[in-house]
A and B are shown apart, each in its own frame.
Chain A
Amino acid sequence: MECLEVYAWLQAYLDSGVTAEQERAVEAHIRACPYCRRKLVAMARVVNALERTSDISPRAEFTRRLYEALEKEAGHPLAPRPREPRR
């Protein structure tokens, strides 16, 4: 199997989006091909870096400002308000 052929499978392999048969083919190819193996490791590193992140809460006063805007839109209070996000 050629590197070009395996390319799309290599990508899908990262998302567990390949069939068992494709998975075996990808694994056989990367065992034999250092070029694709390096590429897969580098892509996995990118995916890991992205997926290690946690949510970023808005700043503490955000919820108050959001509620002021929503209440202006509704024309009346929207109580009770949700908790302020953590800093």
Chain B
Amino acid sequence: MTTALSLRNLRKTYANGFTALKGIDLDVQEGDFFALLGPNGAGKSTAIGIVASLVNKSGGNVEVFGHDLDTELTEAKSCLGLVPQEFNFNVFEPVEEIIVNQAGFYGIPRHEAFKRAELYLRQLGLWEKRRSMARNLSGGMKRRLMIARALVHRPRLLILDEPTAGVDIEIRRSMWEFMRRINAEGTTIILTTHYLEEAESLCRNIAIIDQGELIENTSMKRLLNKLHMETFVLDLKQPLARCPNIPDYRLKLLDETTLEADISKECSINQLFDVLTRQGIEVLSMRNKTNRLEQLFLHMVDGTEGSDRVSA
């Protein structure tokens, strides 16, 4: 299998002396949908900036589809598409022109660039806005414009740095579908996001960076298996005066009709319902208290919240 992105001992120390990356080693395989997570200031955007040639590295090596950034920069750049965290287009240019110009920077002739611009603007629901100045787009439209721009030269590796930040849930879901589709069509995707539900839903593999170091690099499934306990919130039909005591389950009465239950992987939910039914407690509905990946993430980067629920 081809390696889409390879980082070896990647280091970055800024001019003010701050070390953002302390020697990262990371491989992302071709065709993967890869999550790169970490708290604010962890070094994710620095790593992405180095790969995209926007940040000068202090040391180490970067290869994009086998092309070393130091020796085959042009080839490496041709394989890469970037959707940055911050809006970085000329807000005084029309939408279509932004896409066509970006294609031109990759040497794509203008007539072909217009065709591709139409294709991606239609796919991302921006075709009607093609003549609008970019400054007149909504936040969600601006994010989609940057995705269209990053795709216009058909990169083999697409890096999305918080592509759905500030986007409403409906548009976010449609963007997820779009990302899934282009990944299924063969584009390798690296995603950074603070919406952990997004990473859990989309990505097959995951790396977590904290304070410039890689603290996890595994498959999403394996990571989630580390979670030994899940918390559910049960909505009750009848109010309870006090919290029921059931062995092997940690229960907490949040209010008189809401019960919180910590359930370990060894125990079944059916068993809990049996006991509750026997005690005359009827459950109307049930939901996860928090996102599972979020629990793990907080444990890994903070070590406090949720730490009693995880064996790392």
A binds B: no
